Structures are given as C-alpha cells and as structure tokens.
Structure 1
C-alpha cells in the first residue's frame, strides 16, 4: 500500500506521521519504508542520526527521493507499506505523491490555521483521504471540540484515532523507533488497514 502524508503547511507532523506509521506497520508484522520527498530531508536525517548514534532504525528504512524519480522509486519498493513524506508548499511534488498513492493522510494540529489549511488540502484530493488530528493538549478541550464539530457539520472524512501528545512523540525523534508507546499511531495504522480493506473489498 502506498500512503501519502500531505498538507501544504509546514510543522503539521507529516514526518512524524510517516515515520511512526512505518514503525506501526513493522510492529504489526509488515515490511515498510518511508520515502522522503522533502528537500529538508528530515526523515532521512532522523534515520542517519539514529544510525550514527549506534541505534539504527530496525523495522523500516528511509529512502530519499525527488519528484522526477518518485514513480520509479515506488515501483522498486517491494515493502508491504510505503509512506511518502511530502514537503510543504511544493504543490507539484505534493500532487505527484497524491497521484501515485492508494490513500492520503492529511495531518493537522488542532489549531485554526493548521486545520483550515488541512481542510483545503483534503477537499482538493480526488482519491480516498482523511484528516488526522494530532498535536493537541487533552487538557485544552475547547479548540478540539470546535474542530470536531466542524468536521461533523461539514461531513469531512477524518480518522477516529488521534495522536494528541506531541511531547511524548518527541522522544522518538532522531532515534530508533522500536521501543515505547507510539502515542496513538498504532491505532491510526489499525484504522487505516481496516479502511483500505473495506475500500478494496
């Protein structure tokens, strides 16, 4: 399965989502890969720093790619799951990654600017896609309730599973992801798997 993580705004947890969903797939017994399409190379750097520290990623690998070779990179990827981490603001690269995906995840922190941008991205996608709420404080429920109400009122497609705790997930950055609670991403992967099975049946 090819899963693109896309939104036009930076800082929306795209890299974290790609990396920890790849880890979740590995924990579920599948082979997985992250394709890093972001020129900043955050996913690639994550992998390299972990390896240099003597604690490399063990359940998946990371491959850097650019738009012209994305299709060939995907065709050469034999893993069960491939997660594509896209750059912010590069509409041509994002569009190519969406075109080649089986499903698109649009992550959004629970904040007005992030959410509004994510909704615009979601509405422009012409294939199966869903919003993923992430990086919000469970003690601050006002904005969360507003966002969930807007999702329901606008009949937007969103994951039931959520990833609220940003601080918890920061411990995974630039390290082997094989240990510790994935902070909701295991539930997201389970829901994603079930959704794709339903779509393909």
Structure 2
C-alpha cells in the first residue's frame, strides 16, 4: 500500500500544474496587458471630455446665468453614489457609461438643432463636444469588444425630444444637459480609475 501511495505522489510531482489545475485560478479574470493600455486610453479620453465639458458649463453660466437646479425628464439619472465605488465592476461601468453617454449625445444633437439665436455663440464648442462624445463612445464600444464583454442589446427606438417651448426653455435645457453630462463624466473617470487600479 505504501508503495502505491509513493508512486501516486511521484506521478503528481511530475505534472503538478496539469493534474491539480481543476479550474480557473481564483479571483477576477485576468485582463491582458494590452487591454490595460486600452482602459488607460479610455480614462484619458473621458478625462479630456470632462475638462471640455466643465469649461463649456462655465461659459454657459457666464453668458446665461440661471440660478437653481435644472433638469429634464429625458436625461439619465446619475449612476453613482460615493459609497458604491468599491462595488463597481468593469462590465457594469462600461455598459452604464456608454448607455448614458449615448443619451447625452442625443440631447446635445437636439440642443444644436434647436436653433436658438442666443446659443449660436456656443455652437463651435457644442460641435466639438458632439464630435468628442462620438469618439469616446466608439472607444468604449471597442474596449467592450476587446474585453469580450456582452454587448448591449440594440437601443429601442426613442421618441424625438419635444420642441422647446421658448428660447429660455432651451437655455434651461442646456444647463441641465451640460451639467448632467459633467457629473456623468466625473462618475465615469472615477469609476474607470478605481477599476484600473484593480487590474
């Protein structure tokens, strides 16, 4: 009996990895090093868009001061509270960020089509904002594909946003859209950095 046990131990010592590897290693799945660079690039793009949006919010406040909180029912609600940062997972952050930014892209396009004379002074900045949002959304989609994360189902058709009731209504909507986008990008940067530090 002792010789049989000794023989088994010798066999196990010859191929320890193949015999004892009964499943994937414990812990979160490993992210390939080149994908870490993709996450870093996504953080940089998100942070740059955050800076641009912050500047545009300041310009809007200077040109059209409007006290109080402004909101639109069609805008997404902010996805993060301070206490939930530790529970974030990469698939959820990327999916939520992409979904919310698609909504903000639609609202920025609506804002530019509103054609209110008072907002024409901000048209170059709004155009740049739209282009950079497009670029970030494309990067998020590529990152999700690279990490083999499940792609979101196609967005259902959404009804067009209602035409503004007045020029002042468009200005208030601009405050709501740009302010909400600023908060969403801030959440995106924080969430991506927390997840990047875990990789």
Q: Larger strand proportion, structure 1 or 2?
A: 1
TM-score over 0.5 (shorter chain): no
TM-score by length of 2: 0.22
Which has more radius of gyration? 2
- In the superposition, the TM-score normalised over structure 1's length comes to 0.22
More helix by share: 2
Larger RCO, structures 1/2 (Cα 8 Å, 6+ apart): 2
